[in-house]
Structure 1
């Protein structure tokens, strides 16, 4: 009987073993890369829909209390002409006037809010275009109401302009509150239009939704629609909608989905989000996120299953939020105000909407003014554009 001896096992030198090990190593590497990318993509997705606190984006380099001036780090915003404000630690919201001087590091502006010798300001602040941060600063009669929305009672300010039958619902943007919209009340009030300055889910003033996350307009419009219904129940016969930034996206969704759609007579959009994909692509480039990862993040947000898995809510219907594609559904006059150097929401989609619906869209294009700061940069032109549009469509008196 022959005995056969099994050859010694030498995996490392066996034919194809090195290829196998390389493949395994590559697989582990790719798995790690994929995992890292998945984490990053999920993080980007969550960031888009998560309400964030106000960001301290400027340093306060100095305050001259005798001259009542303040010096801030030089940024594209802090060097803008016009009237602005800065949220501070110590003095609260401080109003800023003209640029007095600037160099490579800092911009010195006139203080329009008095800062006394006892006030100590923190080293950082948040630059703002609100200017007005309290309704009393407008010196117009107003009161507060609570509006019943699908998520609960949401506070709103009412500025009554008398017995006029036209009202406007003012809708703020992402990461801000209703005070952002106060700048528009005077020109509307002068035209005999009553203003309803609203809050909506997850903005820090209205009740949160179950998820606590933004719907980028896909859910918030229901709260604005409730405000439209409230206005109609309190004397309005026709309603205008005005929205800033994400508030523009909310307004556009309200216009096409509202149960009170027949009462909506016109729309004013300031630095609006008209197509979220363009906005998110822009921010991905600014953050250095690869284009494929940005698109993957949007894909994650779009699917309800992957959005929940990423902790980003129930999913965002980006096709529904693309109002250039849905331009044919819009049927009322629109005044669109946007700066071509917006720096946060590119004006591309606004131009595309104006081109798609020249029959109803009047577009006022600014430059230099940046995001939601058109009133601050050129109050006269901004006000004149709104006043002229109201008159052209017989809104107000």
Structure 2
């Protein structure tokens, strides 16, 4: 074997060892970080909610929770964050139901005992199935409330369907932006991001009124992300800045009252 051939083989081995193998591992390990499925089952219904099973177009079975409408002529579809399940939204759902809305606490594949494995395309498919279920069940207008990763499902669903209003809490422009926030010196390997969730590219397609709520002390998705997304949203998008609020404590600042007020005004403006 010639010296030049040995050098080439060594270079190939080094590339495999320090580039291909590590980055392949990073690519396939992303699911555990983006979708950290809680280790618990379906959860229990409460406060007038009942468990329902929603079948997606690709055959997955989603374990969601549904509350029929009260005196409001509309229902709200709720999308949870990445380390939660639909059951964790029961308190928020009860507040919406008390306000008179029908409520569907949506679930994603692989979460809360649902079948399948989560992915970006998968949770969007789940969101569409949940929206369509709610329309068929109530035959009333549907609004959307989403938090954190849930906004990555809510925005494509809102763009593809016709909700009367959309509330986004602690949203992001894209998961690439969050990755760069987490890893300041992250190299420009955008192609390695398996689930980009490009909210900034999709929010302009939403035709419904939008409200964005974000806390200034959010250490998971920085406040600037919600602020930037608001500038990319359609004209007229409302933005509420909550001083001192973090990522998971918006309830302490009456976020549901803000959302309910927005839904009620939007519904009145679009009878």
Matched, 1:146 2:146: no
Does the 8 A contact of 2:156 with 2:202 survive in 1?
no
- Residue pairs, 1:188-267, within 5 angstroms: 188-208=96-116, 212-215=117-120, 218-257=121-160, 261-262=161-162, 264-267=163-166
- Displacement after TM superposition at 1:344 (Å): 1.6
Q: Of Structure 1 and Structure 2, which has the larger fraction of its residues in helix?
A: 2
Matched, 1:330 2:206: yes
Matched, 1:357 2:233: yes
> Which residue does the alignment assign to 1:387?
260
- Displacement after TM superposition at 1:271 (Å): 1.6
Cα distance in 1 for partners of 2:216, 2:21 equals 34
Q: CA RMSD in A?
A: 3.1
Matched, 1:299 2:191: yes
Report the secondary structure of 1:202's partner residue: coil
Does the 8 A contact of 1:199 with 1:205 survive in 2?
no
> Which residue does the alignment assign to 1:269?
168
> Which residue does the alignment assign to 2:28?
46
Unaligned 5+ runs, structure 1 = 1-16, 56-86, 88-132, 302-314
If the length of structure 1 is used for normalisation, what is the TM-score? 0.59
Cα distance in 2 for partners of 1:37, 1:167 equals 50
Cα distance in 2 for partners of 1:43, 1:367 equals 39
Does the 8 A contact of 2:164 with 2:267 survive in 1?
no
Report the secondary structure of 1:343's partner residue: coil
If the length of structure 2 is used for normalisation, what is the TM-score? 0.83
Cα distance in 2 for partners of 1:196, 1:46 equals 32
Matched, 1:184 2:92: yes
> Which residue does the alignment assign to 1:371?
247
Does the 8 A contact of 1:332 with 1:360 survive in 2?
no
Report the secondary structure of 1:269's partner residue: strand
- Displacement after TM superposition at 1:53 (Å): 5.0
Does the 8 A contact of 1:169 with 1:240 survive in 2?
yes
Report the secondary structure of 1:291's partner residue: coil
Report the secondary structure of 2:142's partner residue: strand
Cα distance in 2 for partners of 1:164, 1:388 equals 13
Cα distance in 2 for partners of 1:153, 1:253 equals 21
Which structure would you say has the larger Rg? 1
Report the secondary structure of 1:233's partner residue: helix
> Which residue does the alignment assign to 1:64?
none
- Displacement after TM superposition at 1:352 (Å): 1.5
> Which residue does the alignment assign to 2:222?
346
Does the 8 A contact of 2:77 with 2:105 survive in 1?
yes
- Displacement after TM superposition at 1:364 (Å): 1.5
State how many pairs are aligned.
264
Does the 8 A contact of 1:161 with 1:192 survive in 2?
yes
Unaligned 5+ runs, structure 2 = none
Does the 8 A contact of 2:69 with 2:100 survive in 1?
yes
Q: Of Structure 1 and Structure 2, which has the larger fraction of its residues in strand?
A: 1
